[in-house]
């Protein structure tokens, strides 16, 4: 009987989790709109504010890569972000049309094009970077409310989510093995405080490696999924 009740409660929580994931997708869309408004409102000139209205997330990311790596070619940008070469080509053409980047040709090699930011492009990128700095501060402040065990759980959950296909679900045996592994990790954390301290250093290092967008996703998952309290 207890097993049946436990399964019902688990199924209910899984259903609530799946609904929250769907809600998260809509939340990210709303936050993208909020970010666009922030970029426009914090633009230093009317010209940049007007350009921000037409800038997509991918355009801003490609511009950021060019600003950081210039002179850089399309292949490097494609590998860094996982964009197709065709998408990089389309985005860089749009940026060039708006005088945000320049094309540079290598002598004796007209096929390879390098990209550089213009002064206008650097100004846009500075506003974009300021947005990410603002998000980093907010995400860090949010995560500080959780203790070491909770942060360790979050890191484990996020890493497993990133490495698991929800289309090709794991078998029951694999699920049991994962549960046993998670229990083993929890026991280690609860019984060895010195090891917790060492692991927390690794947790902090992993969080520091996340860019602001992924930290924002971690914040949303923490708030809306993993630490929600459900009443029976």
> What is the DSSP secondary structure assignment for residue 106, as one 8-state letter?
E
What is the C-alpha separation between 29 and 181, in angstroms, rounded? 35
The predicted structure's pLDDT at residue 84: 85
Which phi-psi region, left, alpha or beta, contains residue 25 (left: φ > 0; alpha: ψ -120 to 50)?
A: alpha
**Per-residue model confidence (pLDDT) at position 103:** 93
Mean pLDDT per segment of 10 residues, for the chain of length 232 residues?
72 77 65 83 94 92 92 89 86 95 83 91 95 89 89 85 70 53 51 53 64 63 54 43
State pTM to two decimals. 0.61
Q: What is the pLDDT of residue 230?
A: 45
Q: Which residues contact 199 (CB under 8 A, 6 or more apart)?
A: 148, 152, 189
How far is the C-alpha of 24 from the C-alpha of 221, rounded, in Å?
Answer: 8
| Closest of 183, 135, 186, 144 to residue 31, by C-alpha | 135
Which domains does the chain show, CATH number per domain?
Answer: 2-39+145-226 (no CATH), 47-120 (1.10.10.10)
Structure confidence at residue 30 (pLDDT): 61
pLDDT value at residue 193: 47
């Amino acid at each position: 009987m207890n097993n049946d009740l436990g399964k019902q409660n688990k199924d209910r929580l899984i259903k609530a989790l799946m609904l929250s994931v769907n809600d998260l997708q809509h939340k990210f869309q709303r936050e993208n709109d909020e970010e666009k408004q922030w970029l426009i409102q914090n633009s230093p000139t009317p010209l940049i504010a007007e350009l921000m209205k037409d800038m997509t997330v991918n355009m801003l990311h490609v511009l950021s890569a060019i600003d950081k790596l210039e002179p850089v070619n399309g292949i490097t940008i494609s590998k860094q972000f996982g964009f197709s070469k065709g998408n990089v080509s389309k985005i860089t053409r749009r940026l060039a049309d708006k005088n945000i980047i320049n094309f540079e040709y290598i002598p004796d090699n007209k096929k390879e094009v390098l990209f550089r930011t213009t002064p206008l492009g650097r100004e846009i990128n500075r506003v974009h970077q300021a947005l990410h700095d603002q998000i980093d501060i907010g995400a860090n402040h949010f995560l500080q409310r959780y203790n070491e065990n909770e942060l360790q759980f979050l890191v484990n959950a996020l890493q497993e989510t990133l490495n698991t296909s929800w289309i090709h679900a794991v078998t029951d045996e694999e699920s049991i093995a994962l549960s046993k592994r998670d229990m083993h990790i929890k026991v280690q954390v609860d019984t060895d405080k010195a090891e917790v301290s060492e692991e927390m250093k690794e947790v902090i290092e992993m969080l520091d490696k996340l860019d602001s967008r992924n930290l924002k996703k971690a914040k949303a998952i923490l708030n809306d999924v993993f630490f929600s309290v459900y009443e029976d």
